């Protein structure tokens, strides 16, 4: 198989319809680094496990005997399952050892439904360098990083100053995600932030040849026990191809959420966010994306460069896994 995409932090997981949530929850997920060997030229840390850490953020629930449990209630089916404990790379209470320099954190939100609003406990900046589909042209300093289920973000953090902070989530109701400790025996290869990383982001504006409306529907039916989750009024049907997209084309998709914010994900493409509720995209959404949180109405421009057949179509769906399993998913071909 030929890998034909830009360097990026990507992941894979079970996608069996109606069992995705349970299987991902139980551990059927992993990370892939797509690299081109040029991170030194970019001035980016790339020593795996030393100054280049891959962090899979997942919340899980444990019962009193310490067993991990997945028993979604009606509320969990509506809002997605939220656990009572944070696991990083499957570990609870871990502390990440880091060198006294610039460290690259590849963050993956591998949770079933939890949205993270990440910040560092001493409010030092997180320098965003890559989103789902690859590098930004230059680092963007953020105090809070929003990361929806399915999404990835690469950030640089400078650990050369003061005590190492704790990675936290939700400034309003803060909880710890991961603690760090500086280990001076680890080599700090990178000591200053790069000023330029990727090439200029290609502007897709005006290249779109077709507009599609996508509505992420949650009907009242689910109150009575399931049902009501759909896209454009239709629950997922494996035997139905929803539409075909012309190979090589750019399309504008206008995505709308009903009732709650849904993380919208498309397979086989990367897209650019054009607007979020009528405003320009926030910094986390300014690069190439394949997942975006849609609180209201989000417009994207997607370029379809990879073919997809009727036998192996691409999916698009809500990345709250309980919603996806309940029918908030559709499929398309590219030819
Ligand atoms: Cu959803």
Ligand 1 geometric centre to CA of 98 (Å): 36
Confidence tier at 2 by pLDDT (50, 70, 90): confident
Residue 153 lies in a domain: yes
Q: CB within 5 A of ion ligand 1: which residues? A: 262, 318, 320, 323
Ligand 1 geometric centre to CA of 318 (Å): 5
Ligand 1 geometric centre to CA of 328 (Å): 7
pLDDT score of 83: 97
Residue 1 lies in a domain: no
Ligand 1 geometric centre to CA of 291 (Å): 12
pLDDT tens digit string along 291-333?
999 999 999 999 999 999 999 999 999 999 999 999 999 999 9
Total of domains in the chain = 2
pLDDT score of 226: 53
Task: Reply yes or no on whether the pLDDT at 222 is more than 80.
Answer: no
pLDDT score of 223: 53
Residue 44 lies in a domain: yes
Confidence tier at 21 by pLDDT (50, 70, 90): very high
Q: Residue 311 belongs to a domain with what CATH number?
A: 2.60.40.420
Ligand 1 geometric centre to CA of 317 (Å): 8
Task: Reply yes or no on whether the pLDDT at 19 is more than 80.
Answer: yes
Do 170 and 27 belong to one domain?
yes
Task: Reply yes or no on whether the pLDDT at 227 is more than 80.
Answer: no
Do 46 and 162 belong to one domain?
yes
Single pTM value for the model? 0.96
Q: Which domain holds residue 107?
A: 8-182
Do 176 and 263 belong to one domain?
no
Residue 198 lies in a domain: no
Cα of first residue to Cα of last residue in the chain, in angstroms, is 19
Query: Rounded CA gap, 317 and 285, in Å?
Result: 18
Do 226 and 276 belong to one domain?
yes
The b-or-e profile of 221-239 (16+ CB within 10 A means b, else e) is ebeeeeebbbbeeebbeee
Ligand 1 geometric centre to CA of 242 (Å): 19
Do 45 and 152 belong to one domain?
yes
Do 213 and 178 belong to one domain?
no
Residue 203 lies in a domain: no
């Amino acid at each position: 198989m030929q890998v034909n995409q830009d360097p990026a932090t990507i992941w894979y997981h079970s996608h069996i319809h109606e069992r995705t949530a349970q299987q991902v929850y139980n551990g059927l997920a992993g990370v892939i680094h797509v690299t081109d060997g040029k991170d030194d030229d970019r001035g980016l840390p790339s020593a795996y496990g030393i100054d280049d850490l891959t962090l899979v953020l997942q919340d899980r629930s444990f019962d009193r005997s310490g067993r991990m449990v997945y028993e979604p209630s009606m509320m969990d089916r509506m809002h997605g399952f939220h656990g009572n404990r944070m696991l990083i790379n499957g570990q609870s209470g871990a502390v990440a050892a880091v060198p006294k320099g610039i460290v690259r954190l590849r963050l993956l939100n591998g949770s079933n439904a939890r949205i993270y609003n990440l910040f560092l406990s001493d409010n030092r900046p997180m320098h965003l360098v890559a989103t789902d589909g690859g590098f930004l042209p230059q680092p963007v300093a953020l105090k809070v990083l929003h990361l929806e289920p399915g999404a990835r973000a690469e950030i640089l953090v400078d650990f050369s100053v003061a005590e190492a902070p704790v990675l936290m989530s939700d400034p309003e109701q803060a909880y710890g995600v991961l603690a760090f400790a500086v280990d001076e025996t680890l080599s700090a290869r990178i000591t200053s932030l790069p000023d330029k990383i990727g090439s200029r982001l290609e502007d897709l504006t005006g290249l779109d040849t077709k507009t599609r409306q996508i509505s992420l529907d949650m009907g009242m039916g689910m109150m009575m026990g399931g049902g009501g989750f759909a896209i454009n009024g239709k629950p997922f049907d494996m035997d139905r191809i929803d539409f075909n997209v012309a190979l090589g084309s750019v399309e504008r998709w206008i995505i709308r959420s009903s009732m709650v914010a849904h993380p919208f994900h498309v397979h086989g493409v990367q897209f650019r966010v054009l607007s979020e509720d009528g405003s320009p995209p926030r910094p986390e959404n300014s690069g190439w994306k394949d997942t975006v949180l849609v609180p209201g109405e989000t417009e994207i421009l997607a370029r379809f460069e990879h073919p997809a057949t009727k036998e192996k179509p691409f999916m698009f769906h809500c990345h709250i896994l309980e919603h996806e399993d309940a029918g908030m998913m559709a499929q398309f071909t590219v030819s």
